[in-house]
A and B are shown apart, each in its own frame.
Chain A
Amino acid sequence: MAERWLEQQGQTLSVYIDISAETDLSGLNSGALLAGFGLHLTREFSGKGFEDSLDDQQKEALKTARSEIKGFAFGTTKSVWVPEDEGYQPDDDPEDYEPDYEPGRWVTRSVPGKLKPPFPALQRDIQAIRTPLDAFISAVQARSLDVVVIFDGLDRLISPDKFWAVVHQDFRALRRMRVAVLAAAPLSVLYGEGRSISEHFDRIHHMATLSSEPENNSYLKSVLSHRGGTDILGPDEAELICCASGGVLRDLITLARDAGEAAYIEGSDRILPEHANAVIKQLGESYRRGLGPERVKILRKLSKERFFDVTSSPNIELLVTGRVLEYSAGDFRVHPALGALILKPEKND
């Protein structure tokens, strides 16, 4: 959506990259974002026909730059002459060789790429891609277009230190190359130790959870309606599902889909309250599994006293894993599907 909007403004070349779909980020490989950006940028450049108006010399320069970007991304292999160590004695008679003979041998050296899983260890060699990237960026900017790159999927690097380890060198390099960056970041950069990371960005936009309360959830109902859910979902069942989703769109769609499946399997042509309640319980159980008694206590305290300390690690984890939802600044609540299970009086209390 952001990519489309930017394109419509007419003064940008925007590049959307779901980086986690393309590369293994778990290796904390600095340079991977630049490599992905380079590949997408060269593709966009060609796709938009920008090359057509270039002269032969410019085309050749960009061809070389494209090749270097590919080499950076996928790795290169070349043969190099390696002289033998001092004191080397050839096995054969030295008189068989030319006078200017220097002992040595050709060896194949491979430089691993940045986008070939599994990734090699961290290498601080991102300067190598700056020149070829600059060639393309300058060619775009010569058309009075700003380059914007949108990195999706980086929010999967849940802990702030991992997120920062992957992005900080690459984002700094992009800034130097006058490329604007929009990135999906994990929620943990807003709280606790992660806050220092958010200070490196010009602007942070927090995507708060949508309201799921009956008087204020018309948007959620419109999503169900838009996807054809209301064909088999009555208003009461739709209300149940909207409320239990907590405003999390993925959960909303999951609940509606699973309730439809449950109805179908039972031979019902409509979703009944028991189908909705059964799938809400299933979702709640998936949030409950692995929770542990300490975290249950935190959730009960939040529900009872409306108290939630966002500086503590267990609480940040509850936020990041979606068990606690933030609706507006300071308005934290337990996910309703989970709350329905753990906020009941326990049998052994």
Chain B
Amino acid sequence: MTDFIKEPAFEIGRRVEIRGPYAWFVILKPTVDVEAALDAFISEFSAFLGGPVRVISCTGPWLGKLRKDLADPASDAVVISDLDQADANFWRALDINRSGLLRSGPVILWLSSLGLADLCEHAPNIRSFVGGSIVYLGIRGDVMTASERQQRISDLESHFQVTSAEVILRAESGTLPTEPHYVEWLVLLDRGDLV
């Protein structure tokens, strides 16, 4: 069992549809083929909603641009795609201004596990607003079985020549690299709290 649930795009679409206006979700993106995964998600998500889904970028004068992009228009579905680049100051600014970012259309925060950790650490109001609406994006509707998960952990141990116990120890001491594979590894070990 992973830390957060895993769902394909159409299931996320169903949740957004049920939720109605002012829905905010975090989608944890896969660690590989990220661009392709985003394209596939947008395609499937917009097909489910029956309308275009806008991808918003946070580059440039971030907060001002983001506010403007979210407000105009405020009713369509948007995906904020590059929040992983956000530093602590940006998250804090976003957090303080949460009320100013509210809109009737659904908002998807497209994040890595590391990006989610930043959000949780520096933006408690946004975290509180998102609540438990955090899902891993399942490709092809799959959910990893216990044996697939064990196999993936074994592959990572073999590739990096490090045991899972050692990875946990290094994460606890703050010496584990923050590369996506290590993040995935911790999550597979059900130690997302160390990310």
Whether the Cβ atoms of B99 and A21 lie closer than 8 Å is yes
Interface assignment of B19: CB less than 8 Å from any CB of chain A = yes
Closest Cβ of chain A to B4, distance in Å, is 6
* Alpha-carbon separation in the docked complex, A21 to B125 (Å): 13
Closest Cβ of chain B to A78, distance in Å, is 25
* Alpha-carbon separation in the docked complex, A257 to B20 (Å): 11
Q: Which residues of the partner chain A approach B131 to less than 8 Å between Cβ atoms?
A: 250-251, 254-255, 258, 282-283, 286
* Alpha-carbon separation in the docked complex, A296 to B131 (Å): 20
* Alpha-carbon separation in the docked complex, A25 to B127 (Å): 19
Closest Cβ of chain B to A250, distance in Å, is 6
Q: Which residues of the partner chain A approach B120 to less than 8 Å between Cβ atoms?
A: 286-287, 289-291
Closest Cβ of chain B to A213, distance in Å, is 22
Q: Number of A-B pairs whose CB atoms are under 8 Å?
A: 122
* Alpha-carbon separation in the docked complex, A321 to B194 (Å): 17
A278 with B100: in contact, given A26-B93, A250-B128, A258-B133 (CB under 8 Å)?
Answer: no
Whether the Cβ atoms of B124 and A321 lie closer than 8 Å is yes
* Alpha-carbon separation in the docked complex, A251 to B118 (Å): 21
Whether the Cβ atoms of A348 and B165 lie closer than 8 Å is yes
Whether the Cβ atoms of B3 and A285 lie closer than 8 Å is yes
* Alpha-carbon separation in the docked complex, A26 to B19 (Å): 30
* Alpha-carbon separation in the docked complex, A327 to B132 (Å): 23
A26 with B5: in contact, given A250-B131, A289-B117, A289-B195 (CB under 8 Å)?
Answer: no
Chain B: CB-nearest residue to A118 = B64
Main secondary structure of the interface of A (DSSP, over half): helix
Highest count of chain B CB atoms <10 Å: which of A117, A250, A341: A117
Q: Which residues of the partner chain B approach A286 to less than 8 Å between Cβ atoms?
A: 120, 127, 130-132, 134
Which residues of chain B from 70 to 95 have a CB within 8 Å of any chain A CB?
A: 92-93, 95
* Alpha-carbon separation in the docked complex, A117 to B19 (Å): 30
Whether the Cβ atoms of A320 and B124 lie closer than 8 Å is yes
A290 with B15: in contact, given A254-B131, A322-B128 (CB under 8 Å)?
Answer: no
Chain B: CB-nearest residue to A156 = B96
Main secondary structure of the interface of B (DSSP, over half): helix
Whether the Cβ atoms of A292 and B100 lie closer than 8 Å is no
Chain A: CB-nearest residue to B92 = A26
Q: Which residues of the partner chain A approach B132 to less than 8 Å between Cβ atoms?
A: 254-255, 258, 279, 282-283, 285-286
A289 with B192: in contact, given A118-B61, A156-B125 (CB under 8 Å)?
Answer: yes
Interface assignment of B11: CB less than 8 Å from any CB of chain A = yes
Q: Which residues of the partner chain A approach B95 to less than 8 Å between Cβ atoms?
A: 156, 158
Interface assignment of A288: CB less than 8 Å from any CB of chain B = yes
Q: Which residues of the partner chain B approach A23 to less than 8 Å between Cβ atoms?
A: 100
A118 with B99: in contact, given A289-B117, A290-B118, A292-B194 (CB under 8 Å)?
Answer: no
Closest Cβ of chain B to A94, distance in Å, is 47
Interface assignment of B121: CB less than 8 Å from any CB of chain A = yes
Which residues of chain B from 161 to 195 have a CB within 8 Å of any chain A CB?
A: 165, 168, 171-172, 190, 192-195
Interface assignment of A10: CB less than 8 Å from any CB of chain B = no
Which residues of chain A from 78 to 108 have a CB within 8 Å of any chain B CB?
A: none
Which residues of chain A from 126 to 165 have a CB within 8 Å of any chain B CB?
A: 153, 156-158
* Alpha-carbon separation in the docked complex, A321 to B120 (Å): 9
Q: Which one of B64, B127, B195 lies within 8 Å of A117 (CB-CB)?
A: B64
* Alpha-carbon separation in the docked complex, A283 to B4 (Å): 9
* Alpha-carbon separation in the docked complex, A322 to B61 (Å): 31
Whether the Cβ atoms of B124 and A117 lie closer than 8 Å is no
Whether the Cβ atoms of A118 and B63 lie closer than 8 Å is yes
Q: Which one of B19, B99, B117 lies within 8 Å of A290 (CB-CB)?
A: B117
Q: Which one of A254, A257, A285 lies within 8 Å of B4 (CB-CB)?
A: A285
Q: Which residues of the partner chain A approach B11 to less than 8 Å between Cβ atoms?
A: 265
Q: Which one of B102, B124, B127 lies within 8 Å of A21 (CB-CB)?
A: B102
A293 with B98: in contact, given A285-B134, A322-B124 (CB under 8 Å)?
Answer: no
Which residues of chain A from 332 to 349 have a CB within 8 Å of any chain B CB?
A: 341-342, 347-348
In the A-B complex, list the 9 residue pairs whose CB atoms are closest, starting with the nearest: A282-B132, A26-B93, A21-B99, A254-B131, A290-B120, A290-B117, A283-B132, A321-B124, A290-B121
14 other contacts beyond A117-B67, A261-B15, A285-B4, with CB at 8 A cut-off?
A: A20-B96, A26-B97, A158-B95, A258-B131, A258-B133, A265-B14, A279-B132, A289-B117, A290-B119, A290-B121, A292-B193, A292-B194, A293-B172, A322-B128
Chain A to chain B contacts (Cβ below 8 Å), 20 pairs: A21-B102, A24-B96, A26-B92, A156-B95, A251-B128, A258-B131, A261-B18, A264-B18, A265-B14, A282-B131, A282-B132, A286-B127, A289-B3, A289-B117, A289-B192, A290-B195, A292-B193, A321-B127, A347-B190, A348-B165
